[in-house]
């Protein structure tokens, strides 16, 4: 056996001490990084909470105040540091921004905020296709006519999906029964202007636009307007609502969701207007005001 060299033993001790020091340094660095991340997350959370709280009040605000507040929230979200919740906040605000008429400037800021958040932190695709925030952004671009720049395959796929959905809606036809037992078929309404609205009694934006829809129906039915409101709820749920709010246009039941699926309905309310020739001339992805509905009907020749 070769005898131990004292110098080798000393070198090994020094090497051991160096390794211990290096390990300690690494552990300290990891701990500091974790603390900084936690502090950043706490700071972000502190900034996010009042934004989320304001978003929950948007539906209670007057339209002009809601528009200003929505625009301000979009700018505040854009200034947040990148966290897991930034995309969620931007997506939720985008979803709320299409209820009613908040103005093109507000919608543009909301869309820009969502696009920037997705650029900073891409979202994993779902098993059915693009993640929901990409679809929300695509809807803003396609239906609310905002402009964004986002070079992302999921955004491109979302835009392509919406285009395909519109082709399906153009060729759609259905036969459903209303609350009085009368059968309605969309293709039988050629020569009239057909407004098809998807709604539910539990949906606040749906309930908000119902009185305007009924007033417009009363105004334009002599010119050939037919409003068909489609709910996937049962008659026992829908009838009390219709009676309470004195809805006069036909309310159709789609309990099996067959027509909802045909129209690719993923959120309500949704409205589609077909001209006298049966062509889809206008659509809305959310609640509309009376003025917005009138603009849509004007595209079908009703003034």
User: pLDDT tens across 254-299, in order?
Assistant: 999 999 999 999 999 999 999 999 999 999 999 999 999 999 999 9
82 inside domain: yes
149 and 80 share one domain: yes
217 and 251 share one domain: yes
53 inside domain: no
| Residue 158 contacts residue 135 (beta carbons within 8 Å) | yes
- Residue 64's alpha-carbon distances to 39, 58, 60, 148, 295, in angstroms, are 37, 11, 12, 24, 20
28 inside domain: no
Q: Which of these three, 169, 189, 210, is where a domain ends? A: 169
55 inside domain: no
44 inside domain: no
69 and 151 share one domain: yes
Q: Phi first, then psi: give them for residue 274, nearest 5 degrees.
A: -110, 135
Q: Which of these three, 145, 169, 193, is where a domain ends? A: 169
Domain, as residue range, for 67: 63-169
* pLDDT score, position 31: 42
Number of domains present in the structure of the chain: 2
**What average pLDDT does range 22-48 have in this prediction?**
50
127 and 220 share one domain: no
139 and 250 share one domain: no
234 and 284 share one domain: yes
Q: Under DSSP, is residue 263 helix (H, G, I), strand (E, B) or coil? A: coil
Work out whether the CA dihedral 226, 230, 234, 239 comes out positive or negative. Answer: negative
**Bridge partner list, 195:** 227, 273
pTM: 0.83
* Span 242-254, pLDDT tens digits: 999 999 999 999 9
* pLDDT score, position 46: 81
The DSSP annotation for 90-138 comes to HHHHHHHHTSS---HHHHHHHHHHHHHHHHHS--PPBTTBS-HHHHHHH
Nearest to 197 by CA among 163, 229, 241: 229
278 inside domain: yes
Task: Provide the percentage of residues in the chain whose pLDDT is more than 70.
Answer: 85
Q: What does the DSSP 8-state code read for residue 201?
A: T
Residue showing tokens 């934006």:
205
Does the pLDDT value for residue 29 go beyond 80? no
2 inside domain: no
| Residue 166 contacts residue 280 (beta carbons within 8 Å) | yes
Token digits of residue 144: 């609310």
Q: What is the mean pLDDT of the chain?
A: 89
Residue 197 confidence class, pLDDT cut points 50, 70, 90: very high
Crossing angle of helices 63-79 and 6-55, in 10° steps, is 170
CATH number for the domain spanning 189: value is 3.40.30.10
The count of residues in the chain is: 303
Calpha distance 230→136 (Å, rounded): 23
Q: Under DSSP, is residue 74 helix (H, G, I), strand (E, B) or coil? A: helix
Q: Phi first, then psi: give them for residue 6, nearest 5 degrees.
A: -55, -35
Q: Which of these three, 169, 204, 219, is where a domain ends? A: 169
Q: Phi first, then psi: give them for residue 286, nearest 5 degrees.
A: -160, -170
Nearest to 273 by CA among 199, 198, 206: 198
| Cα angle: 276, vertex 146, 170; to 5 degrees | 25
246 inside domain: yes
Work out whether the CA dihedral 45, 47, 51, 56 comes out positive or negative. Answer: positive
| Residue 74 contacts residue 103 (beta carbons within 8 Å) | no
180 and 287 share one domain: yes
140 and 252 share one domain: no
Does the pLDDT value for residue 37 go beyond 60? no
288 and 229 share one domain: yes
**What average pLDDT does range 157-166 have in this prediction?**
96
């Amino acid at each position: 056996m070769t005898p131990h060299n004292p110098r080798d033993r000393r070198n090994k001790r020094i090497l051991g001490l160096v390794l211990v020091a290096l390990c300690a340094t690494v552990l300290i660095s990891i701990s500091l990084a974790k603390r900084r991340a936690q502090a950043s997350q706490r700071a972000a959370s502190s900034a996010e909470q009042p934004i989320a709280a304001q978003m929950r009040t948007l539906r209670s605000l007057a339209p002009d105040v809601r528009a200003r507040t929505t625009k301000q929230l979009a700018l505040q979200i854009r200034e947040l540091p990148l966290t897991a919740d930034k995309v969620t906040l931007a997506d939720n605000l985008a979803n709320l921004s299409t209820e009613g008429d908040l103005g093109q400037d507000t919608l543009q800021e909301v869309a820009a905020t969502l696009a920037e958040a997705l650029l900073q932190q891409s979202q994993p695709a779902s098993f059915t296709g693009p993640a929901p925030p990409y679809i929300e952004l695509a809807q803003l671009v396609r239906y609310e006519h905002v402009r964004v720049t986002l070079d992302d395959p999921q955004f491109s796929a979302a835009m392509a999906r919406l285009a395909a959905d519109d082709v399906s809606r153009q060729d759609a036809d259905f036969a459903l029964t209303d609350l009085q037992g009368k059968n309605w078929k969309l293709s039988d309404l050629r020569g009239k202007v057909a407004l098809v609205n998807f709604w539910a009694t539990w949906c606040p934006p749906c309930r908000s636009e119902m009185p305007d829809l009924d007033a417009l129906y009363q105004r334009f039915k002599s010119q050939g307007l037919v409003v068909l409101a489609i709910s996937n709820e049962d008659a026992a749920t829908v009838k009390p609502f219709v009676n309470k709010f004195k809805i006069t246009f036909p309310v159709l039941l789609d309990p099996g969701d067959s027509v909802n699926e045909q129209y690719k309905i993923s959120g309500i309310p949704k409205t589609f207007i077909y001209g006298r020739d049966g062509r889809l001339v206008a659509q809305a992805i959310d609640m509309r005001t009376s003025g917005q509905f009138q603009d849509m009907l004007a595209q079908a020749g009703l003034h």
